[in-house]
Structure 1
Amino acid sequence: MARKNERRADALSHERIVDAAIEILDTDGENALTFRALSTRLATGSGAIYWHVRNKSELLGAATDGVVTRILADTADEASPRASITTTALALFDAIDARPWIGAQLAREIGQMATARILEVFGTQVRALGVPDRALFDATSALVSFVLGAAGQNAANAANARLHGNETDRTTALASVAHRWTELDPARFPFLHRIAAQVPGHDDRMQFLAGVDYLLAGIESRVSQQR
């Protein structure tokens, strides 16, 4: 009986379970990912799944790691450290925009494998920019925090728009926000008055790339000063 159970567990691989979990997450969201739903999709009992994955938290971590691993592999071959950082950052932004559950999971647990992979890739490229070891942690952390934070916030904004039924008219929604800003006291909120007109038509993706560019320019400037 033990050998029979072992053969069944081997037939239901960890990879198959993770792929099925990703399908559920992409189609129906994080709340829909249950061991019962996973068992139904895989046509197996929950016991066979528990052989490979202990709980939902571990399953979410494995699903996130699976997607992130593919993203990092696809963006590995760039001509320069700056190009590699920019390409990887944009790929993560797009992935989190398409799959908000990834952003939520990355924000939830700093010690997970997906985060380790992201830090390793960015850290290696930041070091290749010439950042000395004493500043490597600070520079890489600032970059990764911006990338994951901005991408996660963008995904959260989109999810909130869908929740309130106005995702199809983003410009109108942003125009309403900008209008409210212009009604604030300009003496107390001069910055908001200055940038309000840019808000309705701005491109989130281009704004994100601009932020990455500013960070990289700052890192490169600091490296030049230290030479």
Structure 2
Amino acid sequence: MATRTRRPERRQEPLSREHIVGAAVELLDAVGEDGLTFRALAERLATGPGAIYWHVRGKTELLAAATDAVVAAAVTIEPAESAESADSPQDGIRAVALGLFDAIEEHPWLATQLATQLSRSPWGTVAPRIFESIGRQVCALGVPEESWFTATSALMHYILGAAGQNAANTASAGTARPDVDRAVVLDAVSAAWEGLDPDDYPFTRAVAKQVRGHDDREQFLAGIALILAGITAIHSLTT
């Protein structure tokens, strides 16, 4: 007697670009950029690759859309409930900065994709979205219009650079020695710096102890505070 081959279950709800991008983000988080294929995505969405191509033309566009979706969520600032409780522009900048910092740490593929998107297609959606979210707060600080681009660029470069480096450090430590925790790694770095030649590296030796036990988020926010203090000081001097 002939037997019927069981067909894979098909999705019940209509397929949309939003569903595709959301599934792509999940795949990227799970298996990385190399594992993101239209075949794997089709299996996750219980559909055929052709249906996905109807909404997304290829992997490059899919990666850009996934990056933009994560960035959009990261830089969204919830409005204050009232004017009295409205956040300051400084708070807004810190919120955007931490949103991106956490997103880059949560999604290991994001730092590389941000660098790719910003260098290859700065006219796309990702760069303007980040620039806009920071720039609006810079305007609200009272920075003169002729300094908007410079101030916003300084903040954006610091945020993406520091967050990306932090994510790279985390990934490198986990790959090289997955059984060793962060405190052990920092102790090793601190000890290595303390052992440097005192004539060639007097400053590095002096701060070596500060490496131990430092908090990455606090250090990141301290950098934001330094830049904001500089922007405020320069603006005060020029008005």
Query: Normalised by the size of structure 2, how large is the TM-score?
Result: 0.86
Question: Following TM superposition, by how much is the alpha carbon of 1:146 offset from its aligned partner in structure 2, in angstroms?
Answer: 0.4
- Alignment-mate amino acid for residue 135 of structure 2: G
Letter in 2 for 1:101: W
Structure 1 position 93 matched with structure 2 position 105: no
Deviates more, 1:91-100 or 1:76-85: 76-85
Pairing 1:222–2:222 present: no
Report the Cα distance in structure 2 between the residues aligned to 1:109 and 1:159, rounded to whole angstroms.
21
TM-score, normalised on structure 1? 0.91
- State how far apart, in whole Å, the 2-side matches of 1:80 and 1:168 are: 40
| 1:57 alignment partner, one of 42, 56, 60 | 60
CA distance in 1: counterparts of 2:179 and 2:68, whole angstroms: 29
Unaligned runs of 5+ in 2: 1-10, 81-85
Choose 1 or 2 for highest CA Rg: 2
Cα drift, residue 48 of structure 1: 1.4
SS in 2 for 1:83: helix
Shift of 1:100: 2.1
Bigger mean CA deviation after superposition, 186-195 or 63-72? 63-72
Corresponding residue for 1:196? Answer: 208
Local SS of the residue matching 1:178: helix
- Give the corresponding residue for 1:16: 19
Unpaired runs of at least 5, structure 1: 1-7
Letter in 2 for 1:216: L
Note the C-alpha offset of 1:31.
Answer: 2.0
- Percent of counterpart pairs with the same letter? 52
Determine the C-alpha separation between the residues in 1 that align with 2:218 and 2:193.
22
What does residue 197 of structure 2 align with?
Answer: 185
- Asked if the contact 2:77/2:95 (under 8 Å) is kept, the reply is no
Q: 1:76 to 1:161 in 2, by over 3 A?
A: farther
Alignment pair present for 1:171 and 2:183: yes
Deviation at 1:115, TM superposition (A): 2.0
Q: Secondary structure at the match of 2:109?
A: helix
- 2:223 is matched with 211
**Structure 1 residues 217-226 or 103-112, which shifts more?**
103-112
**Over residues 113-158 of structure 1, what are the superposed CA-to-partner deviations in whole Å (9 max), with x where a residue is unaligned?**
1221110010111111111121111110010000011111111111
Relative contact order, higher structure (CA 8 A, sep 6+): 1
CA–CA distance in 1 between the matches of 2:178 and 2:236? 47
Equivalent in the alignment of 1:3: none
- The alignment of Structure 1 onto Structure 2 pairs a total of residues equal to 219
User: Which one has a larger percent helix, Structure 1 or Structure 2?
Assistant: 1
Asked if the contact 2:77–2:92 (Cα under 8 Å) also holds between the matched residues in 1, the reply is no
| Secondary structure of 2:214 counterpart | coil
- SS where residue 187 of structure 1 aligns? coil
User: Per-residue CA shift, 1:37-82, capped at 9, x if unaligned?
Assistant: 1011112221211111122121111111112212222445452111
Is 2:78 the counterpart of 1:66? no
- Which residue of structure 1 lines up, in the alignment, with residue 116 of structure 2? 108
Query: For residue 92 of structure 2, what is the aligned residue in structure 1?
Result: 84
Instruction: Name the amino acid aligned to 1:49.
Output: I
1:32 corresponds to 2:42:
no
**Does residue 169 of structure 2 align to residue 157 of structure 1?**
yes
